[in-house]
Structure 1
Amino acid sequence: MAGIIRWLSRINDGVALLAGFGLMACVALILAEIAARRLGAPLGGTDEISGYVMAAVTSWGISYALTERAHVRIDLLRVRGGSGFRAALDCLAMLSLAGVALVTAWHGWAVLEKTLGTGARANTALETPLWIPQAIWWAGWSWFAISAVLLSIAALLLAIKGRFDGVEDIAGTETTA
């Protein structure tokens, strides 16, 4: 299982880099739009494209946050319990994230499937085929669901074996009192 966790972490590191490059490209596009407006020839569509980029970066970036244990958690009770109690709460938190990710990916597919069936396009000057940004967004949520399920399984297996320190390493918070 440790190999899968390392593999997952390496992939999510790459995803984070790609997301960062996507954000930098978006910034460059916005700066070009600002310069073009000053010259009297706006590019147009910058707000639409940057919205798509933000949705994509968010849906893909949450997997990176997951493997880096960067998701926000209120751990008022967690820090007061023993290692077994903390491991149980960490498993519950990971299972909750996996559940939310699975439900979102499931419903996201329904939206994407409808768009594919109707051939819907954005009601903008770019007339973007909506399946493109929706597919990227849905793939990010699906990857998050896969990541969360794998980490949940790993955390549960470690908890069952009594390896609470291992649960903390993959599903705990960065700071423990």
Structure 2
Amino acid sequence: MTQEPSAVIPLLIARIRRINNLIAIAAGLVLVACVILILLDIVLREVGISFGGAEEISGYVMAGVASWGMSYALTELAHVRIDLIRLRLRQRGRAMLDLIAIVALALTSVVIAVQCWPVLAKTIERGSSANTALETPLWIPQSIWLSGWIWFSVCSCLLVILTLVLLVKSRFDDADALVGARSEVELES
């Protein structure tokens, strides 16, 4: 039994959002663990003990959380957009601006992901490690960082495809719910 094509789009969108929600929860837990580590290190420094490396680890965590968190922000329509012109347009005009915005975002994310790979490849090739007491093999945090950019690229490209399908079917409200911008007026209500 196959699903009707019109039923596949909401299902796919729901799955992407569910995955990104899980990613956001995991990223939040990692941030909480990082805060606890930093607080413990600060408290222990008062008695002359230190883990060492808490600042290094927190830097890696921030890079990983930022790259992975962008896909969550994307599906929650949390990316900042200037909607001065968009609000003055009719539904079709807003849809075209939304399409331009998601295509630009997808292209940017793909370019960044592609440019991240040489950084990781060079790190692996050289066997680079951090010039710190932890001597962290840099391929570990860079792999997490790159994979976040790749996931963001995949999500944004999928949203481009889904938006195009919705616009071809003249489902402007659905496209707006998928990639539209939320104005302050809409956020307040």
| Structures share fold, TM-score greater than 0.5 | yes
Residues 95-124 of structure 1 show CA distances to partners (whole Å, capped at 9, x for unaligned) of: 111011100110111111111111101111
State the superposition RMSD in angstroms. Answer: 1.0
- Write out the 4+ residue segments of structure 1 that deviate beyond 3 Å after TM superposition: none
Are 1:126 and 2:99 counterparts?
Answer: no
Counterparts of 1:96-111 in structure 2, within 5 Å, are: 96-111=104-119
1:82 to 90, 108, 130: 90
Aligned length: 177
**1:166: which partner in 2?**
174
Q: Any stretches of 5+ residues in structure 1 without a counterpart? A: none
Q: Any stretches of 5+ residues in structure 2 without a counterpart? A: 1-8
**1:115: which partner in 2?**
123
Displacement of 1:156:
1.1
Are 1:33 and 2:41 counterparts?
Answer: yes
Rounded to whole Å, the distance in 1 between the matches of 2:25 and 2:72 is: 10
Are 1:57 and 2:65 counterparts?
Answer: yes
Displacement of 1:157:
1.1
Rounded to whole Å, the distance in 2 between the matches of 1:36 and 1:153 is: 52
Displacement of 1:3:
1.2
Rounded to whole Å, the distance in 2 between the matches of 1:110 and 1:161 is: 40
Displacement of 1:174:
2.1
Q: Secondary structure at the match of 1:76?
A: coil
Are 1:147 and 2:147 counterparts?
Answer: no
Counterpart of 1:144, as a letter, is F
Residues 26-83 of structure 1 show CA distances to partners (whole Å, capped at 9, x for unaligned) of: 0000011011101101111011000000000000000000000000000100000000
**1:4: which partner in 2?**
12
Counterpart of 2:118, as a letter, is A
Rounded to whole Å, the distance in 2 between the matches of 1:65 and 1:77 is: 22
Counterpart of 1:87, as a letter, is A
Rounded to whole Å, the distance in 2 between the matches of 1:117 and 1:44 is: 27
Q: Secondary structure at the match of 1:42?
A: coil
TM-score normalised to structure 1 length:
0.98
TM-score normalised to structure 2 length:
0.92
Residues 109-167 of structure 1 show CA distances to partners (whole Å, capped at 9, x for unaligned) of: 11111111111011111110000000000000000000000011111111111111111
Rounded to whole Å, the distance in 2 between the matches of 1:41 and 1:31 is: 13
Residues 2-40 of structure 1 show CA distances to partners (whole Å, capped at 9, x for unaligned) of: 211110000000000000001000000001101110110
Counterpart of 1:79, as a letter, is L
Q: Secondary structure at the match of 1:50?
A: helix
